[in-house]
């Protein structure tokens, strides 16, 4: 799954946009955090009960921070990312975010019949980027993808190649907040190092990467958010 949340650059007010009852999803003014989550909850109901997969989660992220989202499977990490990118609606709580984009599944947004280069343009558009923005970023994306057979059909790509292609597009996307869910595990050591170097050079953007790779998290992150059983257990 891919997602993008785009708000006007000069939005000064905190105007509620498309919020379900009991929930506020607001546009940030220029002087607030890149992302502010307050008392966020998400539950699913069946005929007998409601199961909370996120419960009373609150935190703030600021420009230039690199966040490692940690926790066991089922702890609520992916649900949180889906909420941040407005792929699903919260049950309650407040999310304030600027322009955001993310990749939540390997291969999402690509047509297997397209070439790698065609896939880059397609994914860029699905993230909400303009053709002018893509033209400006295209050569940087190609440079990042050095070694990939961009003229070949995506159906011939391995998981590692798909991850490199998708991450290359996202990393050059002009959003304030960029989100990646578990794609780093498909990169080899060389491209993890390249990813780290690029992330550390991006001081004007904020990144959230959900990962089970603790050594990578320790190297990459300026802050760690640890989840367990739907709750934010620690922030360091």
Per-residue CA distances from 211 to 133, 142, 220 (Å): 29, 25, 11
Q: How many CA atoms does the CB half-sphere of 195 hold within 13 Å?
A: 28
Q: Which H helix or E strand runs over 222?
A: none
Q: Tell me the C-alpha distance between 19 and 90, whole Å.
A: 9
Tokens of 48: 């007998």
- With contact defined as beta carbons under 8 Å apart, do 109 and 128 qualify? no
Domain ranges, ordered by start, for the chain: 2-102+224-235
- Phi, psi (rounded to 5 degrees) for 161: -65, -40
Range from 8-22, 61-75, 125-139, 141-155 carrying the lowest mean pLDDT: 8-22
Residue given tokens 């990459």 in the structure block: 220
Q: What is the pLDDT of residue 5?
A: 60
Q: Tell me the C-alpha distance between 46 and 156, whole Å.
A: 41
Share of the chain above pLDDT 70, in %: 86
Q: Which distant-in-sequence residues (6+ apart) come within 8 Å of 190 by Cβ?
A: none
Each residue's pLDDT tens digit, 135-167 = 999 999 999 999 999 999 999 999 999 999 999
3-state secondary structure of 123: helix
Q: What is the pTM of this model?
A: 0.82
- Phi, psi (rounded to 5 degrees) for 29: -80, 170
For strands 66-70 and 23-26, give the pairing.
unpaired
Each residue's pLDDT tens digit, 180-222 = 998 888 999 999 899 999 888 888 899 999 999 999 899 999 9
């Amino acid at each position: 799954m891919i997602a993008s949340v785009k708000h006007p650059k000069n939005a000064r007010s905190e105007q509620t946009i498309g919020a379900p009852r009991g929930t506020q999803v607001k546009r940030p003014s220029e002087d607030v955090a890149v992302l502010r989550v307050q008392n966020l909850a998400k539950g699913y109901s069946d005929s007998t009960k409601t199961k909370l997969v996120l419960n009373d989660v609150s935190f703030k992220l600021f420009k230039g921070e690199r966040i490692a989202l940690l926790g066991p499977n089922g702890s609520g990490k992916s649900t949180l990312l889906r909420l941040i990118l407005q792929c699903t609606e919260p049950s309650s709580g407040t999310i304030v975010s600027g322009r955001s984009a993310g990749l939540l599944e390997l291969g999402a947004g690509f047509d297997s019949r397209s070439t790698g280069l065609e896939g880059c343009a397609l994914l860029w558009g699905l993230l909400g980027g303009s053709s002018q923005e893509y033209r400006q970023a295209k050569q940087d994306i190609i440079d990042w993808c050095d070694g990939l057979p961009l003229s070949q059909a995506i159906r011939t790509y391995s998981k590692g190649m798909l991850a490199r292609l998708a991450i290359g597009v996202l990393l050059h996307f002009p959003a304030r907040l960029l989100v990646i869910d578990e794609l780093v595990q498909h990169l080899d050591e060389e491209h993890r190092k390249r990813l780290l170097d690029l992330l550390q050079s991006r001081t004007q953007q904020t990144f959230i990467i959900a990962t089970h790779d603790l050594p990578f998290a320790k190297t990459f992150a300026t802050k760690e958010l640890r989840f367990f059983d739907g709750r934010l257990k620690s922030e360091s």
